[in-house]
Structure 1
Amino acid sequence: MIAALQSAPWYPALLPFLLASAVTCAAVPLSMWLARRVGAVDRPDAERRIHDEPTPRLGGIAMFAGFAIALAVFGSGVEERWDVVAVTAAITVAMAVDDVLRLPPWTKLVIETGAGVMVVALGITISFFGFHSHPGSVLDLGLLAAPVTVVWLVGMQVSINLLDGVDGVASGVVAIVSGVLLLAAINRLGPIEGIQNSVIVMSGALMGCCFGFLFWNVAPARVFMGDSGSHFLGVAVGTITVLGVAKVAVALTIVVPLLSLGLPIGDTAFAIVRRRRAGTGIAAPDAGHLHHRLLALGLSPRETALAFYLATTILGCIALGIFGHRKVLAIAAVLLVVVLVALVRRSRRRGGNLEGRPLRHWLLVSDREAVASRARRGGEAD
């Protein structure tokens, strides 16, 4: 039985997953103690903070610790493990400073861009795309490789940071995305087995630290991941996907993370449009994100998180179906029907109403209108 387990294609991810989960879960109390000592605590306010009690926000340090230790112990076959550990350490430390001092938005953008530049400097870039329908046909990005990679890394950080607005959403969604990346890498095993094994190991470690953190972060959360956590996750997901794309000349490789992260990417795009229409800066925080909309419909924070999990699973199944896992498309179809029926029934039962709401309602809205009175213990808003 042990031999059969070790021969499973997902086995390289198992031990990193377990170790990262355990280390993260054990390290969270230390991060909470540190947050209280340095004043990195979120306090409720009437506008955007929709939790009830002061909550420490340095959970990202514990997540990084779990991820890094898992790679250090079980990542001997991952050629780029120390590069990945270095860049995730840098962004975690930099954004931990933000969790304490609350840096200006444009300073944060410089740090986010710096993380992308660091990844490129370490030699991890999206250099080319290949086309599944035309074997041997490759699009070389040339001089565009570096800026494309930096934009991808910045986009991942911003998207996941904006996603971190309700307890358990960001860590749960990234855990699911990590699982999707893991399955996609397994599907690519064969002549590129060594390459995809690195993605499998890192995806397992990333999924593990998310699960370990969820123990403390499910509503009502006892700790927030903070900007240190959301940016750590953004850089980790971005780097893992770049590694998968950079060494496999198939353009479909980028489709998996794009579809799986469809919710945070779409929410980010709408946030930019909404803030531009409102005449505020695109980096100005508000409470008009998708998770606030779901709370306003009458969903509880846990139900909102579950809605995100199911939607991400559906998008991930679609991505895997395109990538070769055809059977999961049926799962996606069933989940989609279940989610739609459940949301409609829940909204009607609690008096929520989407009918008659024009598009401008979703693009231009005040903070108070976006957050329902029953939205409590929901996490951070950005």
Structure 2
Amino acid sequence: MAAFVIVGGGLAAAKAAEALREEGFDGEIVLVGREPHLPYERPPLSKGYLQGSDERDKIFVHDADWYREHDVDVRTGVSVTAVDPAAHEVTLSGGERLRYDKLLLATGAQPRRLTVPGHERVLYLRTVDDSDRLRGTFSTARKVAIIGAGWIGLETAAAARAAGAEVTVIEQGQQPLLSALGPEIGAVFADLHREHGVDLRLGARLAEITETGVRLADGTAIDADAVLAGIGAVPDTELAAAAGLTIDNGVKVGADLRTSDPDIYAAGDVANAHHPRLGHHVRVEHWANALNQPPVAARAMLGRPAAYDEPPYFYTDQYDLGMEYLGHVPPGTPHDVVIRGDLSGREFLAFWLRDDRVIAAMNVNIWDQGDHLKALVLAQTPVDRAALADPKVPLEKLVRS
């Protein structure tokens, strides 16, 4: 009987097991996760679960009964310490060796760590245990300092404000989310957080974490009962690198999510996958990849034609702002941004254009245009900028086949 091993305890791992059964695989599936919990989704950890509006049971991809009913051997609280491609075996933290015919790496990413003096006092958010710890911290802390104004930094700032804490966000860029969204849209998020009482320190460099808060490079001291860092993440490639797989901003895989070893695949945050539509490799640390890549990996592991070509997607919820973003703007790509709607009122659509083609689109507090935004991104045909900005022109009329 064929044996497939899945390494990881998140959404990608659970969805891979589900997809394999749905595709008719009746062999052995072993899912190995280092955390003591069943596989769960991470977005709620910085959103609803952190704020107490999502119940704990809701974060889990499947309950224990599902794994039993689908004959999936889940090993929680167990780490894979080594992969031996030649022997087709993985070694577990207790010393057991598991044979595999196909192996899927869904090891995710780890928070990027601060290295300034006092960094050992800093909190991070990646796991459900981290989120539980932060919930407790936010409920008692009077003042919270957050390093980084990216997605995690801003979402946790919103949660801390909802809990009643005074919040200071320290960001070395000139706007929040600058690398992801650019200065114009970044300013929207800056205004949003300032309106909700966040002390946003832009263009600020961190020098030290002190016993009473943080000290900036210009000597400014900021009092804080707790300090959280949200400065990005790095793909967890340690196992893959030790196994001799090709590493390039994650585990490098083809459109079918196959690594440089024909019997090893990778999906989710750790996978830097060749994207057929974009023509280059892309690694996206967001929920949609963890949800949608595993069925592709499952089909490929079963020897069937498969390619992952969905446009990158992510979303955020902060205070009364909900946003979805679709597409990809590679760093350094010349582009223009076209706005449709009320930017200051935070109810608008935004389009990133290169050569008059929509390469990414975003909806903010507008929820009936998602299909049209996706069609524009996928069409890759020139659009009229004036019509794109005009709310009176239906978006479907701008999509050319």
Alignment TM-score, normalising by the size of structure 2? 0.26
**Greater Rg, structure 1 or structure 2?**
2
Structure with the bigger RCO (C-alpha within 8 Å, sep 6+) is 1
Structure holding more strand per residue: 2
Alignment TM-score, normalising by the size of structure 1? 0.26
